[in-house]
Structure 1
Amino acid sequence: MRNYWVRIALGALVIFTVGMVARALINRGIGGVRGVVEGSGPLSIPLAFIPFRLGGDKLGTLERVTFERTAPQSVSSVRLEVKLSDSLLARGLEGCRLAANLDSKDGHRRLSESTFWCAPAGSDTALVEYGQAVFRPGEVSVPLYLPQDLIDELQDLNFDGDSTPISEAEIDSLEASTELSVDSAPVLRARMGDSLRAEGMRRADSAKGVPSRMADSTRSR
Structure 2
Amino acid sequence: MKAYWTRIVLGAFVVFGIGLAVWFAVTRAKEQVHVVVESARPITIPIPFSIIPFRVDGEKYGAVHHVTFYRDAPKSVDHIVVQVKLADSVDAAQFKDCLLSLENVDNIDEHTTFDCLKRDTADTGLVQFGEVQLDPSGLMVPLLLTKSDVADLRHTDEVVLEQEQARMQAAEAEWAGDSARMAAEGLADSISIQVERLVDSLVTIKKVLRQEVRPPRPPKPTVKVEVQ
- TM-score when normalising by structure 2: 0.53
Matches within 5 A, 1:108-187: 109-111=106-108, 113=111, 115-121=113-119, 122-157=121-156, 158-161=160-163, 165=167
- Structure 1 gaps of 5+ residues are 1-28, 104-108, 169-221
Higher helix share: 2
Matches within 5 A, 1:29-48: 30-37=29-36, 38-48=38-48
**CA displacement at 1:143 relative to structure 2:** 0.5
Question: What is the Cα deviation at residue 155 of structure 1?
Answer: 0.7
One-letter amino acid of the structure 2 residue matched with residue 39 of structure 1? S
Question: Could you tell me how far apart the structure 2 residues matched to 1:125 and 1:101 are?
Answer: 13
**Greater relative contact order, per chain length (Cα 8 Å cut-off, separation 6+):** 1
CA RMSD of aligned residues (A): 2.6
Matches within 5 A, 1:3-22: none
Question: CA offsets, 1:96-130, max 9 Å, x none?
Answer: 10111328xxxxx2138452111223431111001
- Aligned AA (1:111): I
Write the distance in 2 (CA, Å) between the matches of 1:111 and 1:43: 16
| 1:158-185 deviation per Cα after TM superposition (whole angstroms, max 9, x unaligned) | 42146775999xxxxxxxxxxxxxxxxx
1:10 is matched with: none
CA contact (8 A) 2:61 2:90 kept: no
* Larger relative strand fraction: 1
Q: Distance in 1 between matches of 2:137 and 2:74?
A: 33
Aligned residues: 135
The whole-number CA distance in structure 2 between the counterparts of 1:42 and 1:34 is 13
Q: 1:87 to 1:74 in 2, by over 3 A?
A: farther
Which segment is superposed worse, 112-121 or 39-48? Answer: 112-121
| Structure 2 counterparts to residues 18-97 of structure 1, below 5 A | 30-37=29-36, 38-48=38-48, 49=50, 50-86=52-88, 88-97=90-99
Structure number with greater Rg is: 2
Following TM superposition, by how much is the alpha carbon of 1:90 offset from its aligned partner in structure 2, in angstroms? 0.8
Structure 2: segments with no counterpart, 5+ residues: 1-27, 172-228
CA–CA separation in structure 1 for the residues paired with 2:85 and 2:167: 34
Partners of 1:83 and 1:133 in 2: CA distance? 11
Q: TM-score, normalised by structure 1?
A: 0.54
